[in-house]
């Protein structure tokens, strides 16, 4: 039996016409479909066949616009080369930035925790009441979907 190594890519999906504090409603399935179609355009049938076996979009956070994509080690290069070229997801204009590439989902979880804490600190500067801060804290720092993955 052969062990298959995976790579987990933490990406940020920014809407072109949106404010940084607005949420972006995306489903992991639509992210999966847009990445597969871009790999088809750039790398053809070979690229799609290479990434199909272990490719999934694991997580999408609406508030911080962070997502996790998993792919097998080796063909993950096809995915990482196409991520910056994705311009539309669900007919929404977006810009995709790769934040982190890790070998385990635990390391990606640690990175996301630090990243979301930084985002929370940035967004809290403009808020005055504790109620607003607590509401934002529960929205941004809610890591339950990631905990269900691991």
For 13-38, what is the mean pLDDT?
81
Tokens of 13: 């999906």
In tens, the pLDDT along 57-85 reads 888 877 778 899 999 999 999 999 999 99
Domains of the chain: 6-108 (3.30.70.3250)
Among the residue ranges 6-15, 28-37, 58-67, 140-149, the one predicted with the least confidence is 140-149
**DSSP 3-state of 84:** helix
Reply yes or no on whether the pLDDT at 146 is more than 90.
no
Read off the pLDDT band of 120 (50, 70, 90): confident
Contacts of 3 (CB under 8 A, 6+ apart): none
Predicted local confidence at residue 37, as pLDDT: 95
Instruction: Identify which has the larger pLDDT, 103 or 116.
Output: 103
In tens, the pLDDT along 123-137 reads 778 777 788 778 777
> Which segment, 14-18, 44-48, 110-114, is predicted with the most confidence on average?
44-48
> Do residues 120 and 141 touch, judged by C-beta distance below 8 A?
yes
Contacts of 70 (CB under 8 A, 6+ apart): 6, 7, 8, 9, 54, 55, 56, 57, 58, 105
Q: What is the DSSP letter of 4?
A: P
Reply yes or no on whether the pLDDT at 20 is more than 70.
no
Among the residue ranges 15-24, 37-46, 90-99, 132-141, the one predicted with the least confidence is 15-24
Instruction: Identify which has the larger pLDDT, 42 or 3.
Output: 42
Instruction: Identify which has the larger pLDDT, 70 or 22.
Output: 70
């Amino acid at each position: 039996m052969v062990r298959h190594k995976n790579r987990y890519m933490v990406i940020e999906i920014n809407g072109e016409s949106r404010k940084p504090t607005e949420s972006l409603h995306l489903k992991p399935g639509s992210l999966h479909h847009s990445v597969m179609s871009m790999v088809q355009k750039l790398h053809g049938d070979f690229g799609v066949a290479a990434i199909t076996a272990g490719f999934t979009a694991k997580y999408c956070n609406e508030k911080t616009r962070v997502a996790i994509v998993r792919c097998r080690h080796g063909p993950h290069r096809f995915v990482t080369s196409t991520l910056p070229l994705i311009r539309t997801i669900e007919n929404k204009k977006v810009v995709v930035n790769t934040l982190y590439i890790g070998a385990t989902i635990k390391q990606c979880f640690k990175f996301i925790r630090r990243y979301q804490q930084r985002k929370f600190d940035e967004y809290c500067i403009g808020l005055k009441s504790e109620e607003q801060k607590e509401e934002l804290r529960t929205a941004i720092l809610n890591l339950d979907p990631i905990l269900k993955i691991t």
